[in-house]
Every structure is written in C-alpha cells, then in structure tokens.
Amino acid sequence: MKVVNMAIRRALVLSKRSALDVYTNLHRDPQIMSLIQANHPVVGNLVDRHKTHVETVKFCEDVLRRKPLEWKTVVGDELEAPISDIDLVITIGGDGTILRASHYVDNSASIFGVNSDPSRITEIKENSESFDARRSTGYMCAATAESFEEVLDEILEGKRKPVQLSRILTCIDGVQSHTLALNDVLLAQPCPAAVSSCSFRIRKGDSYDSHFHPVHSRSSGLRVCTAAGSTAAMRSAGGCPMPILSRDLQYMVREPILLPEHSKVMHGWIKTDEVMHIVWGCREGFIYIDGCHVYLPLKYGNTVQISSKCPPLQVYMHPSRLQHVTN
C-alpha cells in the first residue's frame, strides 16, 4: 500500500501560454496570421508545439484527478498575487514557467516543473536548413508527460525530496524588491546599444573588502546570477557553470570598455556573507529580473545592493541536474 505524504495536500497547476496562443489570441499578430494562412513550415512548428503543450496539460490534469490532492489550474500570465495556502506548485511549460512561478512563491511551497514540449533531435536535424526547430530545454524541470505520474507519485510518497536553490535579493536605495531572482539580474540601459555606466564593490559585514577597490565600469551592462542561472546567459558570455546547490553568486560585466587595472575584476563572485554595492551612473536604466518581463527602474545616483541573503526556493529536479561541475 502506498503511503501518501500528508504534507502535500494542496497543489496549484501553473501552465504557460504557448507561443502560438500568445501571437494569435493575445496579440493577433498580422504577420503570424498571414504565415498561418500561407501554411509556412515555421508556423507549422508553432502549431505542433501548441498542440503538444495542450495535450500535456490535459494529460497531467487527468493524472491529477486520480490523486489524493486538492488542485486548481491557472494560466501563467494570469498569476498576479503571491501564492498562498499551497503545498506544491506544478508548472507545465518550461524553465520560463518555473521562473514565473518562483516570483510568487516563498519557501513554504515547492515547485515541480513539467517540460510540456521537449526538443526532438530528429525534428531539429530535418529542419536545420529551414528554421530553428528546437523546443523547450527544461533544465529545471523534473519530468515530461511520459514521466509525470511516476515522479508525482514519488513526491506524494515522500520518496523524492526538493533541493534548495539560491535566489537573488535586490534593494534600491535600501528598499527591497518584492521579486526574488531565481536565475539572474541584469543592470542595463533601456536601449541595448547604449553604454551602461556604474560603479561597484563588494562588502563583507560592515566593511568593504580591502582587496576589492571600487570598479568604475562602462559596458553594455552588469549581470549577476545564481547557480541555477550560471548555465544560461552567464555561461554563454564566458562565465563559469556552478554547482547547482552553491549559495554563492557570480557577476560579470558585459562587453566592458576595459581599463588595464580593472580587467581582472570584471568577472567574479559574491559569497554568501557578502553584498555587492552598485551606484548607477546613467540618467535611466533598469534592473531586469530573470529576463525581460520583470524589471525595476533605475535613475542616476541610485544605489543598488545585491546578495543571496533571502529565502531559497524549493524545487524538485531531475537527478542528472544535481551532478554538476564545480567552480
């Protein structure tokens, strides 16, 4: 007889909108609509991806109806308030859906991600000369439709435990942001072609690191990432993949206008007992949190503090993701 984990009684199913749904139903994009009418192959990929996602949502809901859980479904972009009185958030989409959920979850609930539309190697090869046929990576997802019920049962029976992923706390002029970043934050100008100017240094406790003098940076922006975010944009820019359970943060100045004395400190680390202090040096700017959808405005002279001194996020992950490289 299976023993149910009584700590998990209430679940929220958070599903994304497919790209096709966004383009055609939300925005009624005329370019996309014309491609659909012309039966263009790249739109055929979008149509199939939409169908696959919808079928995955239905399949997961059918499975949940057989489980000892109270649950409800919400579409991702309709989520506006913090998630409360929920033990388990089941996201159906990809890593972006997990990121969206993480902005509304404290450490009292855990997240179980289902990749609703994983990439297909044969499809990528067959269409490599025509268009990019890659689908969802789902790096932080613990299951696909095929493995959903098996992993869910392991969670409900207490056989699988969540890991705690560090997040980033951002303060502007001493005021904490309500949104914690799971992947990364980027300080940059509104226009990506404009130069971003800021000064930063690392502080430990009540004093600044005597070996870390202020850095006056002019670049295309300053990015800080968690371990979970170190395999995304940070790695693409030449950063280091981190052990997924690391509590440290990694920073990198993007495309800096280098001065010899600063070249060695354009990339580095913020330890768990340290805070990065930044003074913004442009008339305007933004702090982009986990991508482009959540951002905080910056003005000349604003002071920004960035650290990992905030509650971690509990996430169920595929065991293969926990075997990661070290710094």
Q: What is the pLDDT along the chain (327 residues), one digit of tens a residue?
A: 454 555 899 999 999 999 889 888 888 888 888 988 888 877 778 888 899 999 999 999 999 999 999 999 999 888 888 898 999 999 999 999 999 999 999 888 999 999 999 888 888 888 888 788 888 888 999 999 999 999 999 999 999 999 999 999 999 999 999 999 999 999 999 998 999 999 999 998 766 655 567 889 999 999 999 999 999 899 999 999 999 999 999 999 999 997 766 678 899 999 999 999 999 999 999 999 999 999 999 999 999 999 999 999 999 998 887 765 444
pTM recorded for the entire structure: 0.91
132 with 186, same domain: the answer is no
Answer whether 128's CB lies under 8 Å from 49's CB.
Answer: no
- Please, which residues have CB within 8 angstroms of residue 81's CB and are 6 or more apart in sequence? 104
Per-residue model confidence (pLDDT) at position 204: 85
Domain annotation covers residue 316 = no
DSSP 152-190: HHHHHTT-S-PEEEP-BEEEETTEEPSPPBSSEEEEE-S
180 with 279, same domain: the answer is yes
Answer whether 193's CB lies under 8 Å from 221's CB.
Answer: no
Location of structure tokens 């009540």: 206
Domain containing 147 — which CATH number? 3.40.50.10330
Looking at the structure of the chain, the number of domains it has is 2
Domain containing 252 — which CATH number? 2.60.200.30
21 with 143, same domain: the answer is yes
Q: Of 161, 190, 225, which one is at a domain's C-terminal end?
A: 161
State the amino acid at position 89 in one-letter form: V
Domain annotation covers residue 325 = no
Per-residue model confidence (pLDDT) at position 214: 85
**Can you give the residue range of the structural domain that contains 177?**
169-311
139 with 272, same domain: the answer is no
State the amino acid at position 32 in one-letter form: I
Token duo for residue 128: 């490599």
Token duo for residue 212: 């870390």
76 with 173, same domain: the answer is no
- Please, which residues have CB within 8 angstroms of residue 217's CB and are 6 or more apart in sequence? 196, 197, 198, 199, 200, 253, 256, 262, 266
29 with 56, same domain: the answer is yes
CA distance 63 to 60: 5
